[in-house]
Structure 1
Amino acid sequence: MSEFTTAARPYAKAAFEVAQAESKQAEWSDALQFIDAVVCNDEFAAVIDNPAMGAEAKGDILLSICADKISDTQKNFIKVMAENSRLMLMPEIVVLFEALRAAAENTVEAIATAAYALSDAQVQSMTDALKKKLGCEVTLSTEVDSSLIGGVIIRAGDLVIDGSTKAKIESLTQAVGH
């Protein structure tokens, strides 16, 4: 996975720089996610994995699928990726592009996983606390995982705050030595 991220980084950076120059970060984000969905489709994955088919032919197939959904600049991006046999990097490119976009827009997407559904007031309180802690705009989504027993786990980028009852029990068990 690490080598994919390293190989994807220049493509993500180039896409982001073009998107920023065009002031079309949201459009690029949507386009890259659409392209990623096509590339990750099982049928298209078989095309990418076909050694008998040339890189340009693979790019042409992708372009024919995406043609009416992407701009000319985005088509050129796909051509370059195909010529360099890099289409399989699309999932990593999307992740890196979104990270660059979030940093530029001073935003972060966070996920709060709780044992039970959170109220709107709880979500707002957590969002406000994260904004204060991280110093940026926060978009908080929620998930329910009843195995947590109680409490909440918040993931925002590299930050993980585990306030779950399950984690506290595991910590106590380790401290007691069992």
Structure 2
Amino acid sequence: MSELTTIARPYAKAAFDFAVEQSATDKSAVEKWTEMLGFAAQVADNEQIRDFFANTFSVQKAADAMVSICGEQLDQYGQNLIRLMAENKRLTVLPAVFDEFQRYVEEHNATAEVQVISAQPLNATQEQKIAAAMEKRLARKVKLNCSVDNSLLAGVIIRTDDFVIDGSSRGQLNRLANELQ
């Protein structure tokens, strides 16, 4: 997966930088690019499309097919990105490009997506406290995605990017077991 990220990052960064540059004259440019890349990523992630890319030897055919399928969802700049990626035989990494692009948008907007997994549903006060603590820790706004995992017994696990706080009973028991061995 990290190889895909490494390949996708320059395309995502270029698209993001261009979208930010465009936003000087069009305030919705970043949103438009998000929609374009999201749509193209969904198309590229389709099994039949992936098979087509794998069996197509013509770069031009792959680019034309992708642009044709995406149709009006892509503006001329989006089409240029697709053609460039096709030229470099990188259309299959479009989903990773989209993921990286979204990460750049979140960084630009100074927001972080934080996954909170709890043993029981959190109430609004608990969510607010976690959000406030994570905003302080990460020095940016956070968006919580809360879910329940009954196997935790008690507590929460908080994840964002490569940062994890395991405050679950299961995690504490696992750490204790490791120390006792």
Rounded to whole Å, the distance in 2 between the matches of 1:65 and 1:105 is 31
Instruction: Give the equivalent residue in structure 2 for 1:163.
Output: 167
Q: Pick from 140, 145, 153 the counterpart of residue 144 of structure 2.
A: 140
Please report the TM-score for the alignment, with normalisation by the length of structure 2.
0.91
Instruction: Give the equivalent residue in structure 1 for 2:90.
Output: 86
Using the TM superposition, give the Cα deviation of residue 113 of structure 1 relative to its aligned residue in structure 2, in angstroms. 0.8
Which range moved further: 134-143 or 2-11?
2-11
Percent pairwise identity: 36
Rounded to whole Å, the distance in 1 between the matches of 2:119 and 2:65 is 45
Instruction: Give the equivalent residue in structure 1 for 2:26.
Output: none
What does residue range 1-178 of structure 1 map to in structure 2 within 5 Å?
1-23=1-23, 24-51=29-56, 53-177=57-181
Q: What 5-or-longer segments of structure 2 have no aligned partner?
A: 24-28
Rounded to whole Å, the distance in 1 between the matches of 2:107 and 2:135 is 14
Paired letter, 1:9 = R
Using the TM superposition, give the Cα deviation of residue 149 of structure 1 relative to its aligned residue in structure 2, in angstroms. 1.4
Paired letter, 2:30 = Q
Aligned residues: 176
Using the TM superposition, give the Cα deviation of residue 148 of structure 1 relative to its aligned residue in structure 2, in angstroms. 1.3
Paired letter, 1:152 = V
**CA RMSD of superposed structures (Å):** 1.4
Rounded to whole Å, the distance in 2 between the matches of 1:31 and 1:120 is 34
Q: Deviations over 1:35-67 (max 9, x none)?
A: 11111111111111114x412211111111111
Q: What 5-or-longer segments of structure 1 have no aligned partner?
A: none
Which range moved further: 162-171 or 114-123?
114-123
Rounded to whole Å, the distance in 2 between the matches of 1:118 and 1:49 is 45
Using the TM superposition, give the Cα deviation of residue 4 of structure 1 relative to its aligned residue in structure 2, in angstroms. 2.5
User: Any idea what SS the aligned residue of 2:55 has?
Assistant: coil
Paired letter, 1:29 = T
Q: Deviations over 1:67-116 (max 9, x none)?
A: 12122211111111111111011122122212222222211111101122
Using the TM superposition, give the Cα deviation of residue 34 of structure 1 relative to its aligned residue in structure 2, in angstroms. 1.3
Rounded to whole Å, the distance in 1 between the matches of 2:87 and 2:113 is 33
